[in-house]
């Protein structure tokens, strides 16, 4: 009977640390499985037109930040680059996409994606681009309102 008592006491002493280990593993598993959303992105609506927005985005990435541009296509509106942060070792892929609207007076949507980084890194790039455009081009041009649709006078 004495052996069972020793075994019970030993199991009792090990239960608290084992509970901590199991809880720690559960938290770690939750973090790994949830992670950050791979489709996370930051966006900005630019009222400066496509050409100005493209030029400013390219200069921001290549000249101001000194990132290596790995691929660019002005006509289709995307820019791929190697992003470097003081928080990461090495570089991670990043992209900036410019989406034109069918309406020529509509803003150009700028989408920044850094899938391996927390979302705030994307937001910092978006904010930097918006600030750069205001500094270089001034306030965005005001677009003339669309004329109202002609009213049908009806038949008299």
CB-based burial label for 56 (10 Å; 0-12, 13-18, 19+): buried
Q: Does residue 63 lie within any of the structural domains?
A: yes
In a domain, 15, yes or no: no
Beta strands in the chain (DSSP E): 42-46, 68-73, 78-84, 91-99, 108-113
Q: Is residue 115 part of a domain?
A: yes
Identify the three-state secondary structure at position 94: strand
On whether residue 150 sits in a domain, the answer given is: no
Is residue 22 assigned to a domain? no
Torsion of CA 112, 135, 77, 46, to 10 degrees: 80
Residue 112, pLDDT score = 97
Which pTM was predicted? 0.66
Question: How many folded domains does the chain comprise?
Answer: 1
The answer to whether residue 14 is domain-embedded is no
CA 67 – CA 60 distance, rounded (Å): 9
In terms of residue numbers, what domain contains 125? 42-137
Specify the 3-state DSSP secondary structure of 100. coil
Domain at 63, CATH number: 3.30.530.50
In a domain, 73, yes or no: yes
d(CA 30, CA 111): 29
Per-residue pLDDT of the chain (156 residues; tens, 9 = 90+): 566 666 566 555 655 555 554 444 444 444 444 444 445 689 999 999 999 999 999 999 999 999 999 999 999 999 999 999 887 788 999 999 999 988 878 899 999 999 999 999 999 999 999 999 999 999 987 765 555 666 665 665
> What pLDDT score was predicted for residue 148?
61
Edge-to-edge strand ranges of the sheet holding 78-84: 42-46, 108-113, 91-99, 78-84, 68-73
| CA 2/CA 10 separation, integer angstroms | 12
Look at residue 26 and tell me if it is in a domain.
no
């Amino acid at each position: 009977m004495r052996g069972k008592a020793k075994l019970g006491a030993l199991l009792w002493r090990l239960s608290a640390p084992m509970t901590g280990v199991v809880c720690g593993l559960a938290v770690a598993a939750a973090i790994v499985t949830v992670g950050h959303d791979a489709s996370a992105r930051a966006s900005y609506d630019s009222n400066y037109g496509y050409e100005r927005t493209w030029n400013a985005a390219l200069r921001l990435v290549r000249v101001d930040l000194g990132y290596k541009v790995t691929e660019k296509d002005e006509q289709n509106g995307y820019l791929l680059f190697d992003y470097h942060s003081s928080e990461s070792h090495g570089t991670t892929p990043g992209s900036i996409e410019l989406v034109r609207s069918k309406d020529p007076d509509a803003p150009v949507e700028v989408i920044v994606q850094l899938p391996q980084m927390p979302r705030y890194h994307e937001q910092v790039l978006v904010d930097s681009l918006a600030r750069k455009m205001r500094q270089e081009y001034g306030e965005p041009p005001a677009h003339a309102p669309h004329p109202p649709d002609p009213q049908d006078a009806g038949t008299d």
